[in-house]
Amino acid sequence: MNEQGSKSSGAAETGLGAAPPQAPGIEQLREQIDRLDRQLVGLLAQRRRVVEQVVQVKQQQDLPTFHPAREEDLISARRAQAAQAGLDPDYVEDLFRTVLRHSRVGQLRTLGRRGVRPGARVLIVGGGGSMGRFLAGWFTQSDYEVRVLDRVDWPQVGPLTAGLDLCLLAVPIGVTPAVAAEVGPRLPAGCILADITSLKGEPLKAMLSGYGGPVVGLHPLFGPATTTMDQQVVVVTPGRQREACQWLLDQLALWGNVLVETSADEHDEVMGIVQALRHFATFAFGQFLHARRVPILRALELSSPIYRLELAMVGRLFAQDPSLYAEIVFATPERLALLKDYIQSLQRNLGLVERGDKAEFAARFRQVAEWFGPFSEQALRESTFVVEKLVHRF
Amino acid sequence: MNEQGSKSSGAAETGLGAAPPQAPGIEQLREQIDRLDRQLVGLLAQRRRVVEQVVQVKQQQDLPTFHPAREEDLISARRAQAAQAGLDPDYVEDLFRTVLRHSRVGQLRTLGRRGVRPGARVLIVGGGGSMGRFLAGWFTQSDYEVRVLDRVDWPQVGPLTAGLDLCLLAVPIGVTPAVAAEVGPRLPAGCILADITSLKGEPLKAMLSGYGGPVVGLHPLFGPATTTMDQQVVVVTPGRQREACQWLLDQLALWGNVLVETSADEHDEVMGIVQALRHFATFAFGQFLHARRVPILRALELSSPIYRLELAMVGRLFAQDPSLYAEIVFATPERLALLKDYIQSLQRNLGLVERGDKAEFAARFRQVAEWFGPFSEQALRESTFVVEKLVHRF
């Protein structure tokens, strides 16, 4: 390579044109690639400037940020062009999804700040906590009049609730029912009462009995470390006067959230599994690694990308706030019963290994696979996709 | 938007130039974006053609596919250009990592097929199994003389081992020691004896006692469904005459694999945790979801991207071959003891929840977090990165 490289650059320097035309050397080809890459970045910068003009027009005309049909059209057109040019359409789609997401997040930064009801009065109860501060920030940037009620402000509860349009409870699960009972009777007619706890049954009941107006339960499935709400899920459990709550839901959607509606019972059942049980199992696994002093960095080196990701899913828990997880795991007696059931089922499966019964292991395995149906194939595809992303990133 | 769209296209159709110059409407801006995007794909196609020329030069001059320093230089240059052009350098790096990976995989498809010792004779014992067939395919494409020995071919073992350069055992863990004892004495001097089981202690011992020549244990951390070996990990546990085994390791590296060397003991200890225990826990979790008839699709809808990924890690197991997992989980008495320990530690942690001892939960949590050290932060970063990829893909 060095030889070839110095040969071609030498020819360029002396400018001797007598030699017969020869195939370009690797250094010349690399210069061509660099030139093309510079042009690529130049086009991306031009694209960015046009998108900024689009944002201005959208702002003036009050148009929404997203245009899913437009995005799919764009992707289809580029896929078709890629196929014609002999490029892998999946590869080109992958690149354009990155471009579109970047563009969407950039637009949200400007457009998503708009208020659906600017000037409306919002009280965040527990506004001193991390989620409370986070939400207060979003409402403030969207031109709401934001008030904060924290433990020390209880004497001010009268003036703080006066003329209120939204009362948002952002206090720990354990005290949410008590706070709802306390605050509910003070709210003016038409004000929305909402909470953001990760449990919906008890809090919703308490809000409905403490207040006779519009009530809605919310469970944002993200933490205060999020910088964008783009495509973050918020579970919505309607309580009373759904239409009166609509502007709040519209505001969340405008910020980029995806809203999923369900009943409080279904929410709590599903969350018992996907939150409480998963968190407990992950916590216990990390604890086990620690107790056995497993050499974690060495284990990572000896791991395939998918095992690295498995370990990362364990590690990430411990970079977060233990009290948040304790709240979720310790929330209800049903959750304790669920954990007990789970450990018993582990015991039963251990019996298979003790008896060396591989045939029964395989039979149970196939039973689950059949019951999962298309989910396992999809899971394999999705997780393989992200693992490939991880591999090419690091 | 429609209004603005029809206004501007109307102007374009009639060609009336009398109106004062006005800011472009959203449809015009979208046309500009489409034009830029078409140019982007055009540049990608040009880039591809230049890369194909690079592959030809590399083939003629026997140059390696990868050039990590060149890749990092390229990324740095584009990041700098992005910053100057007012673009987010991370965004531009993200795009170029995709471009480079695509280019690398494309090059591997041509260059990675080269044989380090073309014409050498390779015998795959268990070559009728899925991993055996997979490896036979790679050796064949790299111009080796590939022979296959399966259960039915035992009478031919004499002629099949004659003049052999590599004997690769691709049989189940349980029979690997017996097969090594049977085949070892028949190998000609200088031939490499290697295996690919997911356990290294017993198989390596059996190969060393069954054969006096070069021996190496291999554990490819991927399955036969892989289409590329790009950056796939192969664990290497040297046995005897490491230098004589070097050409085999070079061949694996040329195919794109990353080789990690360790002792058989360390390998088996780490794999007990990252394979046997994780697989068992994941199997048991899936089994539990099935036993409780958890509505899995609804759970996915109600999940944040990170929970979706957690569920996908469970689901993916069940899209695969149960016997492979049974082999790993049931492999040794040490693994059974490990599973027992794990369930006992779950029981102890359940005690915390029964007693409602949130303080102790948080204390243990912090202990693990401290012991993990920078790993949890890194895990949080890595998993958040892949989750963002997942969000913008689906």
251-290 in chain A: CB under 8 A from chain B:
260, 262, 266-267, 270-271, 273-275, 278, 280-281, 283-290
pLDDT > 90 in chain B, percent: 57
288-307 in chain A: CB under 8 A from chain B:
288-292, 294-307
How far is residue A197's CA from residue A221's CA, in Å, rounded to a whole number? 10
Among the partner-chain residues A26, A342, A393, the one whose CB lies closest to the CB of B288 is: A342
Q: How confident is the model at residue A80 (pLDDT cuts 50, 70, 90)?
A: very high
pLDDT at B265: 94
The region of weakest confidence among A65-74, A346-355, B120-129, B180-189 is A65-74
Question: Where is pLDDT greater, at B67 or A298?
Answer: A298
* Chain B closest-CA separation from residue A157 CA (Å): 30
Q: Which residues of A touch B288 (CB under 8 A)?
A: 341-342, 345
Residue A88 CB contacts under 8 Å (≥ 6 apart), including other chains: A82, B102
Q: How confident is the model at residue B383 (pLDDT cuts 50, 70, 90)?
A: confident
pLDDT digits (tens, 9 = 90+) for A229-241: 877 889 999 999 9
How far is residue B265's CA from residue A314's CA, in Å, rounded to a whole number? 24
Mean pLDDT for A46-55 is: 90
Q: Which of A30, A34, A50, A306 to mutate to test the interface with B (most CBs of B within 10 A)?
A: A50
Q: Which of A3, A28, A31, A310 to mutate to test the interface with B (most CBs of B within 10 A)?
A: A310
Q: How confident is the model at residue A48 (pLDDT cuts 50, 70, 90)?
A: very high
How far is residue B287's CA from residue B289's CA, in Å, rounded to a whole number? 5
pLDDT at A337: 95
pLDDT at A64: 66
Is the pLDDT at A325 greater than 60? The verdict is yes
pLDDT at A222: 85
pLDDT digits (tens, 9 = 90+) for A115-171: 899 999 999 999 888 899 999 999 999 999 999 999 888 888 899 999 999 999 999
Q: Could you give the C-alpha distances from A348 to A3, A352, B287, B328, in angstroms and in order?
A: 67, 7, 11, 19
pLDDT at A20: 45
Q: What is the dihedral sign for C-alpha A329, A330, A332, A337? A: positive
Q: Which residues of B touch A32 (CB under 8 A)?
A: 50
Q: How far is CA B291 from its chain centroid? A: 31
Check if the beta carbon of residue B180 is closer than 8 Å to that of residue B205. Answer: no
Is the pLDDT at B120 greater than 80? The verdict is yes
Neighbours of B248 (CB within 10 A): 22
pLDDT at A266: 94
Is the pLDDT at A7 greater than 90? The verdict is no
pLDDT digits (tens, 9 = 90+) for A241-294: 999 999 999 999 988 888 999 999 999 999 998 889 999 999 999 999 999 998
Predicted structure pTM score: 0.75
Q: How confident is the model at residue A65 (pLDDT cuts 50, 70, 90)?
A: low
pLDDT at A310: 87
- A7 part of contact set with chain B, CB < 8 Å: no
- A5 part of contact set with chain B, CB < 8 Å: no
How far is residue A183's CA from residue A211's CA, in Å, rounded to a whole number? 8
R_g of chain B, CA atoms, integer Å = 28
Q: Which residues of B touch A391 (CB under 8 A)?
A: 230-231
Within B15-25, residue ranges assigned H as helices are none
Is the pLDDT at B117 greater than 70? The verdict is yes
pLDDT at B309: 86
pLDDT at A61: 79
Question: Where is pLDDT greater, at B62 or A358?
Answer: A358
Question: Where is pLDDT greater, at A216 or A70?
Answer: A216
Is the pLDDT at A39 greater than 60? The verdict is yes
Which of the given ranges, A206-210, A322-326, B270-274, B369-373, has the highest pLDDT on average? A206-210
Long-range contacts of B25-31 (CB under 8 A, 24+ apart): B25/A57, B26/A54, B26/A57, B26/A58, B26/A61, B26/A63, B26/B1, B29/A50, B29/A53, B29/A54, B29/A57, B30/A54, B30/A70
pLDDT at A94: 87
pLDDT digits (tens, 9 = 90+) for B223-262: 887 777 877 899 999 999 999 999 999 999 988 888 999 9
pLDDT at A248: 97
pLDDT at B303: 86
How far is residue A209's CA from residue A110's CA, in Å, rounded to a whole number? 39
Q: How confident is the model at residue B2 (pLDDT cuts 50, 70, 90)?
A: very low
pLDDT at A148: 95
Mean pLDDT for A13-39 is: 74
pLDDT digits (tens, 9 = 90+) for A11-23: 333 334 444 456 7
- A334 part of contact set with chain B, CB < 8 Å: no
Mean pLDDT of chain B: 87
In this structure, what DSSP letter does residue B19 have?
Answer: S
Check if the beta carbon of residue B328 is closer than 8 Å to that of residue A365. Answer: no
pLDDT at A162: 95
SS3 B123: strand
Neighbours of A259 (CB within 10 A): 13
pLDDT at B377: 85
Size of interface A-B (CB pairs under 8 A): 445
In this structure, what DSSP letter does residue B256 have?
Answer: T
The region of weakest confidence among A5-14, A83-92, A327-336, B172-181 is A5-14
Q: What ipTM describes this predicted complex?
A: 0.75
Check if the beta carbon of residue B230 is closer than 8 Å to that of residue B108. Answer: yes
Among the partner-chain residues B294, B311, B393, the one whose CB lies closest to the CB of A97 is: B393
pLDDT at A218: 98
Among the partner-chain residues A42, A278, A297, the one whose CB lies closest to the CB of B310 is: A278
pLDDT digits (tens, 9 = 90+) for B137-150: 999 999 999 999 99
